């Protein structure tokens, strides 16, 4: 007992003495520490492996005095005479929650730590002669991935007959070095199924298999590869590969997780692969398509890559916080997708492992900080043709109107003069505050307009306060303004059409010293530059909650800046202690939800005052007013046409012609929209955030820049996203070409030549085939003698035509012992296909597949109750009954908070963040899904019907037919007999059970197949379920 008390007392004293910081208790140490005798052996045994000549993790070396004293990315680690302030001691003790050094080795003994402490406190004496390298330059050898690849020489191998592409020479060299031999070539049935799944994501048809098996030409396989690479489904397969990195999803994420329209970006990716767009152009358009000279609509759509970030629309959030969060995600996605670096790790501090400084992170961030988030209309060819037809008809009628009225130009000039004074003299109010009653924050723009950010899903009241020194104010003007970031351009935030509506406009004068002292401003009348018969301007002052003025008009003319002018009953002059308080009330009867609750609240507005007598709204639209402010000779033909288009509506005797033109415009329809980026007129200043906190910016502004350890920024490139894209695809870049070919290799072989496809930084494992990686990277970057640079199809061709790719996937015990993980590629890995491809195989073999390319995301059947798992009211899921029900998996609407269950079960990433390497799990739920999910049951029903219709005259022929559809080969005798036994047992089970047979055999009991034996069809459906659930069916051999 006494021993326990003494021990406890001793431990308590030790804890109290050294709790902060946690230093080692007293040990007997030499009177004077000698570096050579006491310290260098500790460093050599424990530190040189990671901080020595061969490797300098975190850019720190402990084998050379000058570099050790210089420190690394985390700063100085040895402070002579002050061990308590030395980071070296902090790390070996594991202080401040950090892992103790050395990593992956036993911790230093207490006496060793005490020696290092004493050595530092004694001045860290380190004789120059005792550095590991006496003639060392100050440079630390860079990490291999940070040095631009050079094309290596082709290795000379003995097994020359095996080599089919240069890939094989590098693989054969490593196999020989490890005492391995390549496996034999797979049979043709296996090979065509393998390459079809890899290049298109669809299994080959039986005709395609038979044609290949029977093709005796020397280039039979090459012809198959050429056909697949030009298939329209190639773009779908490899487009989906890229969409993982682009974190594509059809909803915003977070609590609200509302739907978004961004599928045109997904279609752009598919088309880019099908067109074999060079990867350098593919990169530029996604990062900066909008900044290209004369950017096309498709190039602007491509910037959707940067708009795939999640968006938080929860009530009460600060829009600026989540704008910053979206930019952080864009930095992360760009870093992972194009650079293979964990750039995000430098958001809060200098990167712990890679040489990315904290400041450099925010210089990189600055490239994305001055953008406008746009919503683009993307008409398809049919819609565009219809629009052009309408505009042509309108132009024709306007031309006829001009021909019938030869004096129209003189009349227009006279009209322009007559309306010149109608613009009035207005002074824009400089707001003190702009707030909303719920969920909205406002961004002030340089023209003193305010744009609403945050939740748009509720009724709201905007409150605007301002002082004014203007004397005798006679009127107030509210401008509701368009913007590319609003739905369809605005000026409202209604998701369906961008319309805005206002119930009431209330103005008061408030004493700033005593806010309870206030008086309401009385209005004389209200005018607007536009009003509908049922939504008049005067309704904003009628005190009713059931009427409103709206910006709505016919589709082709809807999105204009609009003006409301409120004339005051009495002129108003504010005292020094008074301010205007204006409420813009937007409350709608019944609190109806439009498109997931998006109401027609105002998106952008500005308020001004005037002292003009009897102010009224300028009837001339702002864009027309801007044009007529120029002399006629300075206007373009298009501008003149715009002026006439408005002018003609003011001429009363042309009412009939105007109505005819309006009738021409009625068929105008909305096109789909997509999220994109556009340059901001006024750039934002970028600041370093202390510890990554957006509310703690440093004072100094940072210019856009790239990490200094990589290649220089192109001298002639602009410091914007376009310049960043050019820097990324610069041939001096050591990373991008390696990153892309490594990810392509990963797709085929299950693991990349560097295992961590998302991170080629200093912590990554060394490449299994370093020379092969660099050869592929330079081949991709520079192009071959007969090919072009940045050609992804060329890389595919090199890989799938190689003997390495064509090997069987059989694993022998000897091979398993020699190379269990297949690092040296002496066989082809056997892998389960991705979640979408599992669905696509089921659709293809059942004959149900709708092979349409692109278009809006679809809503196939989803298990009951799944959508209720998300927050709030379940999202509508209009289950399709058309052929869209059988679209490929990549087209299914992807809701981040409630992903489509069967795809999620098989490891499809949820789209929250960039994913360059999918997980591959094996769970019981997967088997239950593929057996019982309603869509998989439909696949089985379709396969059963197809077997019965096409499979042959007898059971055996039908079994063989169905098995070949699913696996690409005929069953052996054992497999055939097992399936026949199952068929016979199921026939017995369904005999006389019509109800069960109906349920099993048909997806729709109201549409039973005519003249079909339902019991027989049900039995075959059960067999088909087994075939579809074979491991071989969902595995790429």
> In this predicted model, what pLDDT tens digit does every residue of 298-315 receive, in sequence order?
999 999 999 999 998 877
Cα–Cα distance list, 1037 to 304, 753, 807, 831, 984 (Å): 35, 20, 10, 7, 30
Which strand (E) or helix (H) includes residue 978? helix 973-990
CA dist., res. 735 & res. 441, Å (int): 40
Instruction: Look up residue 113 and give its two tokens.
Output: 């730590």
Beta strand 473-480 with 371-377 is unpaired
Which strand (E) or helix (H) includes residue 508? strand 504-511
Cα–Cα distance list, 140 to 55, 57, 71, 774, 905 (Å): 9, 10, 12, 22, 46
Task: Note whether 506 and 583 are within 8 A (CB).
Answer: yes
Average pLDDT, the chain: 89
More reliable by pLDDT, 598 or 298: 298
- Calculate Rg over the CA atoms of the chain: 35
Q: List all residues 6 or more positions away from 681 whose beta carbon is below 8 Å from its beta carbon.
A: 372, 446
CA dist., res. 860 & res. 856, Å (int): 13
Averaged over 790-803, what is the pLDDT? 97
> In this predicted model, what pLDDT tens digit does every residue of 250-292 receive, in sequence order?
999 988 888 999 999 999 999 999 999 999 999 999 999 999 9
Task: Note whether 277 and 722 are within 8 A (CB).
Answer: no
Q: List all residues 6 or more positions away from 1006 whose beta carbon is below 8 Å from its beta carbon.
A: none
Question: Residue 12: what pLDDT?
Answer: 33
The residue assigned the tokens 């410091």 is 719
**DSSP labels, 535-602:** B-GGGGGS--SS--EE----GGG----EEEEEEEEEEE---TTEEEEEEEEE--GGG--STTT----B
Residue 593's pLDDT band (cuts 50, 70, 90): very low
3-state secondary structure of 430: coil
> In this predicted model, what pLDDT tens digit does every residue of 756-773 receive, in sequence order?
999 999 888 889 999 999
Phi, psi of 622 (to 5 degrees): -60, -40
CA dist., res. 578 & res. 519, Å (int): 11
CA dihedral 410, 413, 414, 417 (to 10 degrees): -170
Residue of 899, 882, 891 whose CA lies nearest to 840: 891
Instruction: Look up residue 49 and give its two tokens.
Output: 């492996």
Task: Note whether 314 and 455 are within 8 A (CB).
Answer: yes
Question: Residue 557: what pLDDT?
Answer: 61
CA dist., res. 729 & res. 783, Å (int): 14
Beta strand 686-689 with 697-702 is antiparallel
**Residue 316 half-sphere exposure, CB side, CA atoms within 13 Å?**
1
To 5 degrees, how large is the angle CA 50–CA 56–CA 60? 100
Cα–Cα distance list, 990 to 262, 948, 994, 996 (Å): 47, 17, 7, 7
Beta strand 673-679 with 427-428 is unpaired
Bridge partners of 528? Answer: 564
Question: Residue 131: what pLDDT?
Answer: 65
| First-last CA distance in the chain | 68
Cα–Cα distance list, 830 to 194, 742, 884, 927 (Å): 10, 19, 32, 19
Which strand (E) or helix (H) includes residue 518? strand 518-520
> In this predicted model, what pLDDT tens digit does every residue of 397-443 receive, in sequence order?
999 999 999 999 999 999 999 998 888 899 999 999 999 988 888 98
CA dist., res. 324 & res. 328, Å (int): 6
Question: Residue 554: what pLDDT?
Answer: 59
Q: Is the dihedral of CA 621, 626, 630, 636 positive or negative?
A: negative
CA dist., res. 804 & res. 166, Å (int): 10
Averaged over 722-742, what is the pLDDT? 97
Question: Residue 22: what pLDDT?
Answer: 35
Cα–Cα distance list, 880 to 391, 857, 868, 932, 934 (Å): 34, 11, 19, 20, 14
Q: List all residues 6 or more positions away from 954 whose beta carbon is below 8 Å from its beta carbon.
A: none
CA dist., res. 1035 & res. 920, Å (int): 12
Instruction: Look up residue 513 and give its two tokens.
Output: 């010293």
To the question of domain 425-617 being in CATH 2.60.120, the answer is yes
pLDDT at 23 exceeding the cut of 50: no
Q: Is the dihedral of CA 59, 64, 65, 66 positive or negative?
A: negative
3-state secondary structure of 500: coil
Residue 7's pLDDT band (cuts 50, 70, 90): very low
Beta strands in 653-751 (DSSP E): 673-679, 686-689, 697-702
Task: Note whether 649 and 620 are within 8 A (CB).
Answer: no
Instruction: Look up residue 29 and give its two tokens.
Output: 């140490």
**DSSP labels, 878-911:** ----SGGGG--GGGB---SSS--HHHHHTT---S
CA dist., res. 988 & res. 1006, Å (int): 25
Residue of 741, 733, 736 whose CA lies nearest to 167: 741
The residue assigned the tokens 């012809």 is 223
How many other C-beta atoms lie within 10 A of the C-beta of residue 916?
22
Averaged over 34-53, what is the pLDDT? 82
Residue of 614, 573, 582 whose CA lies nearest to 475: 614
Instruction: Look up residue 424 and give its two tokens.
Output: 């009035």
To 5 degrees, how large is the angle CA 227–CA 232–CA 235? 105
Task: Note whether 911 and 896 are within 8 A (CB).
Answer: yes
CA dist., res. 605 & res. 586, Å (int): 13
Task: Note whether 336 and 760 are within 8 A (CB).
Answer: no
How many other C-beta atoms lie within 10 A of the C-beta of residue 129?
8
What is the model's pTM? 0.85
Averaged over 178-191, what is the pLDDT? 96
> In this predicted model, what pLDDT tens digit does every residue of 480-489 receive, in sequence order?
999 999 988 8
Phi, psi of 13 (to 5 degrees): -65, -40
**Residue 672 half-sphere exposure, CB side, CA atoms within 13 Å?**
19
Averaged over 450-460, what is the pLDDT? 84
- 8-state DSSP, 691: G
> In this predicted model, what pLDDT tens digit does every residue of 610-640 receive, in sequence order?
999 999 999 998 889 999 999 989 999 999 9
Is the bond preceding 891 in cis, omega lying within 30 degrees of 0?
no
Helices (H), 258-371: 263-274, 279-288, 297-301, 304-307, 319-334, 358-366
Q: List all residues 6 or more positions away from 275 whose beta carbon is below 8 Å from its beta carbon.
A: none
CA dist., res. 244 & res. 67, Å (int): 41
How many other C-beta atoms lie within 10 A of the C-beta of residue 401?
18
CA dist., res. 278 & res. 79, Å (int): 52
SS3 helix, strand, coil % of the chain, rounded to 5?
Answer: 45, 10, 45
CA dist., res. 675 & res. 697, Å (int): 29
Averaged over 232-254, what is the pLDDT? 96
Q: Which of 406-420, 462-476, 640-654, 997-1011 has the lowest mean pLDDT?
A: 997-1011
Residue of 436, 431, 487, 432 whose CA lies nearest to 317: 436
Q: What percent of the chain has pLDDT over 90?
A: 70
């Amino acid at each position: 007992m006494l021993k326990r008390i003494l021990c406890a007392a001793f431990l308590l004293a030790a804890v109290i003495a050294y709790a902060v910081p946690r230093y080692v208790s007293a040990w007997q140490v030499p009177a004077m520490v000698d570096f050579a005798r006491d310290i260098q052996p500790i460093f050599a045994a424990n530190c040189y492996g990671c901080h020595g000549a061969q490797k300098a993790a975190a850019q720190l070396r402990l084998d050379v005095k000058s570099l050790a004293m210089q420190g690394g990315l985390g700063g100085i680690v040895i402070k002579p005479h002050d061990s308590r302030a030395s980071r070296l001691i902090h790390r070996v003790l594991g202080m401040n929650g950090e892992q103790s050094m050395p990593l992956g080795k036993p911790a230093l003994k207490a006496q060793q730590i005490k020696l290092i402490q004493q050595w530092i406190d004694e001045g860290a004496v380190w004789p120059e002669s005792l550095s590991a390298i006496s003639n060392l330059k100050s440079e630390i050898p860079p990490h291999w991935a940070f040095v631009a690849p050079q094309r290596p020489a082709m290795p000379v191998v003995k097994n020359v007959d095996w080599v089919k592409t240069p890939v094989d020479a590098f693989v054969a060299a490593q196999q020989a070095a490890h005492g391995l031999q390549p496996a034999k070539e797979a049979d043709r049935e296996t090979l065509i199924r393998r390459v079809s799944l890899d290049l298109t994501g669809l299994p080959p048809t039986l005709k395609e298999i038979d044609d290949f098996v029977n093709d005796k030409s020397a280039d039979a396989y090459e012809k198959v590869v050429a056909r697949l690479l030009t298939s329209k489904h190639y773009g779908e397969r490899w487009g989906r590969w890229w969409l993982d990195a682009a974190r594509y999803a059809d909803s915003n994420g977070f609590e609200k997780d509302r739907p978004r329209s961004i599928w045109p970006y997904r279609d752009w990716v598919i088309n880019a692969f099908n067109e074999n767009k060079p990867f350098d152009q593919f990169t530029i358009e996604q990062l900066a398509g909008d900044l290209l000279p004369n950017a096309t609509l498709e190039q602007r759509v491509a910037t959707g890559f940067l708009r795939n970030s999640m968006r938080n629309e929860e009530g009460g959030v600060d829009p600026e916080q989540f704008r910053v969060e979206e930019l952080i995600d864009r930095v992360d996605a760009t870093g992972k997708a194009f650079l293979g670096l964990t750039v995000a790790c430098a958001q809060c501090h200098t990167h712990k492992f890679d040489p990315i400084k904290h400041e450099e992170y925010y210089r990189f961030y600055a490239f994305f900080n001055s953008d406008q988030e746009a919503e683009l209309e993307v008409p398809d060819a049919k819609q565009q043709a219809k629009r052009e037809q309408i505009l042509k008809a309108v132009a024709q009628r306007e031309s006829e109107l001009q021909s019938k009225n030869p004096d129209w130009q003189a009349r227009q000039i006279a009209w322009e003069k007559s309306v010149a004074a109608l613009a009035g003299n207005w002074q824009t109010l400089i707001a003190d505050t702009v707030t909303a009653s719920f969920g909205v924050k406002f961004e002030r723009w340089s023209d003193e307009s305010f744009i609403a950010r945050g939740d748009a899903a509720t009724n709201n009241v905007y409150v605007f306060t301002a002082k004014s020194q203007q004397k005798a104010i006679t009127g107030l003007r509210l401008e509701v303004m368009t913007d590319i970031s609003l739905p369809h351009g605005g000026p409202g935030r209604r998701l369906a059409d961008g319309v805005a509506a206002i119930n009431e406009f209330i103005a008061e004068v408030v004493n700033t010293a005593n806010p309870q002292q206030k008086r309401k401003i009385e209005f004389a009348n209200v005018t607007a530059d536009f009003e509908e018969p049922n939504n008049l301007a005067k309704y904003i002052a009628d005190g009713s909650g059931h009427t409103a003025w709206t910006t709505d008009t016919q589709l082709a003319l809807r999105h204009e800046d609009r003006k409301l002018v409120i004339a005051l009953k009495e002129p108003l002059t504010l005292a020094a202690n008074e301010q205007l308080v204006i409420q813009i009330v937007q409350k709608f009867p019944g609190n109806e939800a439009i498109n997931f609750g998006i109401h027609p609240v105002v998106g952008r507005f500005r308020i001004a005052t005037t002292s003009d007598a009897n102010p009224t709204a300028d009837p001339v639209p702002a864009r027309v007013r801007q044009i007529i402010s120029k002399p006629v000779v300075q206007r373009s033909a298009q501008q003149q046409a715009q002026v006439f288009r408005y002018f003609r509506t003011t001429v009363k005797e042309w009412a009939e012609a105007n109505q005819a033109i309006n009738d021409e415009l009625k068929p105008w329809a909305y096109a789909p929209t997509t999220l994109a980026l556009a340059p901001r007129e006024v750039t934002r200043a970028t600041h370093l955030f202390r510890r990554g906190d957006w509310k703690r910016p440093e004072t100094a502004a940072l210019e856009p820049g790239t990490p200094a350890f990589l290649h220089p920024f192109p001298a002639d490139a602009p410091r914007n996203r376009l310049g960043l894209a050019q820097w990324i695809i610069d041939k001096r870049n050591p990373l991008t070409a390696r990153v892309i070919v490594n990810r392509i290799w990963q797709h085929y072989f299950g693991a990349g030549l560097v295992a961590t496809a998302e991170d080629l930084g200093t912590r990554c494992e060394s490449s299994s085939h370093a020379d092969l990686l660099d050869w592929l990277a330079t081949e991709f970057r520079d192009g071959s003698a007969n090919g072009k640079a940045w050609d992804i199809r060329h890389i595919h061709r090199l890989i799938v035509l190689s003997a390495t790719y064509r090997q069987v996937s059989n694993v022998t015990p000897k091979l398993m012992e020699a190379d269990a993980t297949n690092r040296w590629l002496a066989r082809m890995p056997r892998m389960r296909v991705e979640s979408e491809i599992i669905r696509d195989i089921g659709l293809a073999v059942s004959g149900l597949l709708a092979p349409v390319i692109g278009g809006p995301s679809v809503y196939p059947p989803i298990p009951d109750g799944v959508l209720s798992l998300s927050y709030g009211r379940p999202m509508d899921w209009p289950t399709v009954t058309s052929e869209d029900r059988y679209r490929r998996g990549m087209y299914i609407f992807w809701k981040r908070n409630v992903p489509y269950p069967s795809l999620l079960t098989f490891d499809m990433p949820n789209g929250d963040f960039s994913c360059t390497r999918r997980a591959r799990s094996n769970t019981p739920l997967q088997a239950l899904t593929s057996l019982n999910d309603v869509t998989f049951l439909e696949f089985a029903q379709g396969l059963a019907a197809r077997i019965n219709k096409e499979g042959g005259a007898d059971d055996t022929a039908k079994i063989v037919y169905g098995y070949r559809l699913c696996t690409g080969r005929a069953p052996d005798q054992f497999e055939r007999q097992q399936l026949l036994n199952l068929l016979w047992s199921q026939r017995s089970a369904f005999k006389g059970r019509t109800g069960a047979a109906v349920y099993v055999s048909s997806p729709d009991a109201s549409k039973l197949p005519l003249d079909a034996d339902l019991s027989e069809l049900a039995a075959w459906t059960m067999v088909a379920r087994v075939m579809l659930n074979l491991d071989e069916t969902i595995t790429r051999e």
